[in-house]
């Protein structure tokens, strides 16, 4: 690969949209119940509270990618290459995840590399993404997690370069970058400006939540955002060796999902996907439709913006996003 920077005119020529040629469908690296997920050339986000089981879900996905088939998930081919960079956990814990994943794959393989970057600076973690892509050329790069590449995830100037680089790398190397970001303590949104930006740019967002059924705890995985076909929720539990496996549990909707479905239902009554309103008109319409106070309407609109249901344009218009799914219970 040449290190010579491209001329901007050449870049713009490559980026120009025309009617020539044919569009190709996304190349999904995994399928679950005939639904394609984890597409090449894009970003996937995983969110959850601390200790909710996000790393267990990552180990589950990694096993399916490496093995070709696992827990109802099937890969486009066996032996896909996965690189996992962990910024949170130390070498001992990372070695445990690495060992557990190899145990589930049932072989020692060369197409799975794991790196513990807890002890390096945020700047070097950021640079490591490019180096790992160039050196190993993976099909999937796992970044667990993106917050540790920033000094402050609430700063736009910190979040934009990291997520922008992920977008660039995913397209340049035709891989999928799967990244993790914690949720706020008081709601289901990902933290800071990093979370707001990530939910806009990621093609898929998964929420991992820890639940209990009276016997034992399990992890519930819900696809909360997608630009493609919606994947149904599923659950995993750990066996005696701490390896995740799928379980048939029909969990009840979370409070956040119930509230989100209510907000989407109210918006459906007066705002079609792809259309928009000025803020004052939006508040007035929502207040009338939902039969609620102005403050409640404003709070629900803020939730809709945070969850990606509404998109605030620079002009001040709030647009209803087309691809955001609505929950139904």
Which pLDDT value is given to residue 225? Answer: 93
Which pLDDT value is given to residue 73? Answer: 96
Cα 256 to chain centroid, rounded: 17
* pLDDT per position as a tens digit, 93-143: 999 999 999 999 987 788 999 999 999 999 999 999 999 999 999 999 999
Helix, strand and coil in the chain, % to nearest 5: 35, 25, 35
pLDDT averaged over 10-residue windows placed end to end, the chain, 329 residues: 71 83 86 95 96 95 95 91 95 93 86 95 94 97 94 90 96 97 90 92 95 80 92 92 86 74 92 90 95 95 90 90 48
The answer to whether the CB of 286 falls within 8 A of the CB of 267 is: yes
The answer to whether the CB of 72 falls within 8 A of the CB of 234 is: yes
Strand partners, 140: 82, 176
Q: What is the CATH number of domain 256-320?
A: 1.10.10
**Domain regions of the chain by residue span:** 24-251, 256-320
Which pLDDT value is given to residue 299? Answer: 94
Which pLDDT value is given to residue 131? Answer: 97
Which pLDDT value is given to residue 167? Answer: 97
* pLDDT per position as a tens digit, 160-199: 999 999 999 999 999 999 999 999 988 889 999 999 999 9
**Helical (H) or strand (E) element with 51:** none
Which pLDDT value is given to residue 326? Answer: 40
**Helical (H) or strand (E) element with 59:** helix 54-67
Report d(CA 187, CA 48) in Å as an integer: 10
> Can you give the pTM of this predicted structure?
0.74
Contacts of range 48-51, beta carbons closer than 8 Å, 24 or more positions apart: 48/180, 48/182, 48/183, 48/207, 48/208, 48/209, 49/182, 49/183, 49/185, 49/209, 49/210, 50/182, 51/210
The answer to whether the CB of 44 falls within 8 A of the CB of 204 is: yes
Percent of the chain with pLDDT over 70: 94
The answer to whether the CB of 88 falls within 8 A of the CB of 97 is: no
* DSSP reduced 3-state for 165: helix
Q: What is the CATH number of domain 24-251?
A: 3.40.50.300
The answer to whether the CB of 326 falls within 8 A of the CB of 304 is: no
Q: Strands 42-48 and 204-212, how do they pair?
A: parallel
Report d(CA 165, CA 297) in Å as an integer: 36
Look up residue 278 and give its two tokens: 């000025």
Q: Which region holds residue 167: left if phi is over 0, alpha if psi is between -120 and 50, else beta?
A: alpha
Burial class from Cβ neighbours inside 10 Å (0-12, 13-18, 19+) for residue 249 reads: middle
């Amino acid at each position: 690969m040449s290190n010579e920077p491209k001329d901007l005119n050449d870049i713009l020529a490559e980026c120009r949209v025309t009617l020539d040629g044919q569009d190709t469908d996304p190349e999904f690296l995994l399928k679950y119940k005939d639904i394609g997920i984890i597409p090449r050339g894009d970003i996937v986000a995983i969110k959850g509270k601390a200790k909710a089981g996000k790393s267990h879900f990552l180990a589950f996905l990694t096993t399916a990618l490496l093995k070709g088939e696992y827990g109802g998930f099937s890969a486009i081919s066996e032996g896909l290459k996965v690189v996992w960079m962990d910024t949170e956990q130390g070498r001992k814990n990372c070695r445990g995840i690495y060992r557990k994943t190899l145990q589930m794959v049932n072989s020692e393989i060369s197409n799975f590399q794991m790196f513990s970057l807890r002890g390096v600076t945020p700047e070097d973690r950021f640079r490591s993404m490019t180096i790992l892509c160039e050196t190993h050329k993976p099909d999937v790069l796992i970044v667990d997690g993106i917050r540790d590449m920033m000094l402050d995830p609430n700063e736009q100037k910190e979040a934009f370069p990291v997520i922008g680089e992920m977008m660039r790398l995913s397209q340049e190397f035709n891989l999928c970058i799967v990244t993790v970001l914690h949720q706020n303590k008081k709601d289901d949104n990902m933290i800071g400006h990093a979370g707001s930006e990530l939910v806009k740019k990621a093609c898929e967002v998964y929420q991992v939540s820890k639940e209990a059924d009276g016997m034992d705890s399990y992890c519930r995985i819900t696809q909360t955002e997608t630009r493609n076909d919606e994947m149904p929720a599923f659950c995993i539990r750990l066996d005696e060796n701490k390896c995740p496996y799928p379980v048939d549990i029909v969990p009840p909707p979370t409070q956040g999902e119930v509230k989100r479905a209510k907000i989407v239902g109210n918006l459906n009554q007066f705002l079609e996907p792809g259309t928009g309103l000025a803020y004052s008109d939006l508040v007035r319409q929502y207040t009338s439709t939902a039969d609620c106070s102005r403050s409640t309407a404003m709070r629900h609109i803020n939730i809709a913006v945070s969850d990606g249901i509404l998109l605030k344009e620079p002009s001040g218009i709030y647009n209803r996003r087309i691809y955001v799914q609505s929950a139904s219970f």
